[in-house]
Amino acid sequence: MTDRKKAGYKRLHSDELSMQPGQQQHCWRQSLPSQLGEGRSLIFQLDPSLSYIETTYHPLHDLAITSKIDFGEPRLVVTLGITGHTRFIDSDKHELTFSAGHTTITSFDSSHGERRYQANQPIKQLRFSIGKRWMDRYLGENESAFFFRNNALQLLSSRPSHTQSTISARQLLGCDLSAPLAPLTLNGHVMTILANELSELCRPEKYGYSRFDEASRRMADQAREILELHYQDPPSLEQLAKTLGISPFKLKNLFQHYFNNSPYGVVTEIRMQHAYRALASTRQPVSLVAEMVGYRHTSNFSLAFSKHFGVSPKQISKKR
């Protein structure tokens, strides 16, 4: 799915959404300005480390809602898509998609980006925001550590929702929130959904995860050596994974765990280091250095170099 022009989006910050206490205890209602369409999120604090968010939107315009969140502790977010399709793009241009019938699981301790909605496309999503303390309580610290390998936003899983989760989600949406035991009912359905969706991640071999033993380390190092040898014209993620005999998803997880980076990010690091040495020690023009490290366009190289080092390539070459 291609983006419409960025200028076509109506933009607002999450702070501009009105927040009011809900009718139920420990519930808040966050609403979209009426001129932008119908939209609201009900936020239930079920536990100090567990929130349930029910979001229903029907925007009149292409809409982008920016947010900057710092939780102070690692969080796991489980998102069930009920209807519609949205995307989240963070400040580093990493993109996550959330679609009907699929469960997406991410982890992070801070997030800065925007969630995009299409005009006249109704969406309904259920999100479960889980703190590490909650995970430690139910899985134990050793097991829960698997879900929080680093602080950056990372995609752990995206797959069709479990059948039982879909049934529980339907029951959750149909709850009578005014009933005396509504909090208990909510908790029961939420726990059923989380048990179904997280249980798959607790069986890493099924989805190609690794517990990161010595063999995994050797495989990660081998992959990096291949990229260092071919950084000017690196293999694609799929080609590299095929060479190693693993899935692209597992390869990305290995790089995230051992190098705190993606394979493409590692290639960029290698290219930048070679470029810096060439600029600092020779009189070669920037255009030639760009070509030498694998960039077809000098402007793209200069942009990447400046972002990586905080100075332009010309500033380094002029120091000689």
**What does the pLDDT look like over 54-80, one tens digit per residue?**
999 999 999 999 988 777 778 899 999
Q: Are 294 and 271 in contact (CB under 8 A)?
A: yes
How far, in Å, CA of 241 to CA of 245, rounded? Answer: 6
Would you give the DSSP letter of residue 15?
G
- The token duo for 268 is 């960029």
What single letter denotes the amino acid at residue 136? D
Question: For 146, what's the count of Cα atoms within 13 Å in the CB-facing half-sphere?
Answer: 18
How far, in Å, CA of 190 to CA of 51, rounded? Answer: 10
Q: Are 266 and 235 in contact (CB under 8 A)?
A: no
Q: What is the pairing mode between strands 27-31 and 18-21?
A: antiparallel
pLDDT < 50 regions, the chain? 1-6, 205-210
Give the H/E segment covering residue 271: helix 263-281
How far, in Å, CA of 71 to CA of 74, rounded? Answer: 7
Q: What is the pairing mode between strands 10-13 and 63-83?
A: parallel
Please report the pLDDT score of residue 4 as a whole number.
41
What single letter denotes the amino acid at residue 185? T
The pTM assigned to this predicted structure is 0.62
Please report the pLDDT score of residue 79 as a whole number.
95
Please report the pLDDT score of residue 217 as a whole number.
83
CA distances to 44, 77, 123, 147, 168 from 139, in Å = 23, 16, 32, 11, 22
Please report the pLDDT score of residue 249 as a whole number.
79
How far, in Å, CA of 64 to CA of 81, rounded? Answer: 18
